[in-house]
Amino acid sequence: MSLPAYAEYKDSGVEWLGDVPKHWQVVSVKRFCDVRDGTHDTPSFVEPSESTYSLVTSKDLSGTGVSFSDTKHISMEDHIEISKRSAVEMHDILMPMIGSIGGAVLVESDREFSIKNIAVFKKSKSLIQKWLLFLLNSELCAVQFSIQRSGGVQGFIALGSLRNLIIPNPPLPEQTTIARFLDHETAKIDALIAEQQRLIELLKEKRQAVISHAVTKGLDPNAPMKDSGVAWLGDVPEHWEVGAIKRFLISLDARRIPLSAEERGGRQGDYPYYGASGIIDTVDDFIFDEDLVLVSEDGANLLSRSTPIAFIARGHFWVNNHAHILKPCDKNLRFWSEQIEHIDLTPFITGSAQPKLTVDALMNLTIPTPPCENERFLISSFIEHETAKIDELISHAHQGIDLLKERRSALISAAVTGKIDVRGWQPPATAVTTPQGQQQILFDD
């Protein structure tokens, strides 16, 4: 898309803003918009009922708006008290003031609720809210947030800093057109991003299916099959063995030595220090000097499986007591780790607050395996080759998403700062056929 620039510009007087269209103003947001903040205290939480109200915090804000699914509830009295300072109404804009500053969202519900550590930009007759929303989520404001934030890692931006945000201010008709233009164009980009994200999910599903089939059915589609005797496993190649993990791998858990964070701080070095989900530090010594399979012993990831629970550790390394250590009967580590990775562990995990897979439960898990080491090698090689191809496609899809997000951000910044002139833009016309067979031209708006 090629859009013209404005005919005349002027110096905004603001280094990070640069030139703006000659007829635009450059003002602080407080000139046209009332900005308030929610409570910084934590009121007493109560059980949800018809007379209680959600307390929305930054975790409840996302690109799609306000989510009430996990909010805590407060009493009517506390809600009334907070609302005296920061009542929230439909079409107000909310933005976190602590942690991940930015990420403004538009309130599109008439539900009453209170806010904590969130700024509310009240709707105003002097600003188009959708325009302001795009502006607050632009690089222009991100630069100012980074300059004004304080508080170290956690990060905080004061109400005064938000009220004094410097913004370009075009006439209201232009704000309307820019907002409509960005609504239309970002929706198209978001649709492309969604397609890429769906592609990634499909590729991940295919990746898992390829691995699962290889380690449970083998590579020969014509191999005679037999009932494994395990409901979730089904049929396996007739010549394969089916047995507990302890028949094929031995546990080296007795050699684990945990080190506290303080101890590791005084022993920094070049050797990986493994925990339940992989490398968590480096230390100056090692316990193991061979390639082994590690399996998560505890943690929420045993159930969520957001990262692998079975992974390979190679060379010299140290392991704490949150990962089981297994030595297979051969060097085909990828085969053995994937055998464990594809098992649904839910029935074997104990503990609710802290999920745990005991060494006894792990060693008694049933797995199928070809008796020949060479066949296991061929399966390992096949998995390496096939997953590498899929991983490359996933990587390309991620790169595509990154480029689309960059395009989206650049387009928003260009429009809200006047680097492009969209005053003549109209939504594309769409032809539809009426029930009477006549065609009407509608505009996507």
Cα–Cα distance, 264 to 319 (Å, whole number): 12
Mean pLDDT to the nearest integer, 375-386 = 96
Look up residue 30 and give its two tokens.
Answer: 């407080």
Backbone angles phi, psi at 103, to 5 degrees: 65, 50
> Residue 62's CB: how many other CB atoms inside 10 A?
11
CATH assignment of 25-168?
3.90.220.20
Cα–Cα distance, 10 to 6 (Å, whole number): 11
Cα–Cα distance, 375 to 377 (Å, whole number): 5
For residue 407, give the amino acid letter: R
- Report pTM: 0.82
Task: State the pLDDT confidence band at 51, using cuts at 50, 70 and 90.
Answer: very high
Tell me whether domains 25-168 and 241-369 share a fold: yes
Q: Are 25 and 10 in contact (CB under 8 A)?
A: no
Per residue in 308-348, pLDDT (tens digit) is 999 999 999 999 999 999 999 999 999 999 999 999 899 99
Per residue in 202-248, pLDDT (tens digit) is 999 999 999 999 999 999 999 999 999 998 899 999 999 999 999 99
Cα–Cα distance, 327 to 290 (Å, whole number): 9
Cα–Cα distance, 307 to 316 (Å, whole number): 23
Q: Are 413 and 167 in contact (CB under 8 A)?
A: no
Cα–Cα distance, 10 to 316 (Å, whole number): 62
Per residue in 391-444, pLDDT (tens digit) is 999 999 999 999 999 999 999 999 999 999 999 898 887 655 556 655 444 445
Can you give the residue ranges of every domain in the chain? Answer: 25-168, 241-369
Cα–Cα distance, 368 to 180 (Å, whole number): 59
> Residue 21's CB: how many other CB atoms inside 10 A?
21
Mean pLDDT to the nearest integer, 154-182 = 92
Look up residue 5 and give its two tokens.
Answer: 């620039």
Question: Which residues on adjacent β-strands are paired with residue 54?
Answer: 73, 113
**Architecture of the domain spanning 241-369:** Alpha-Beta Complex (3.90)
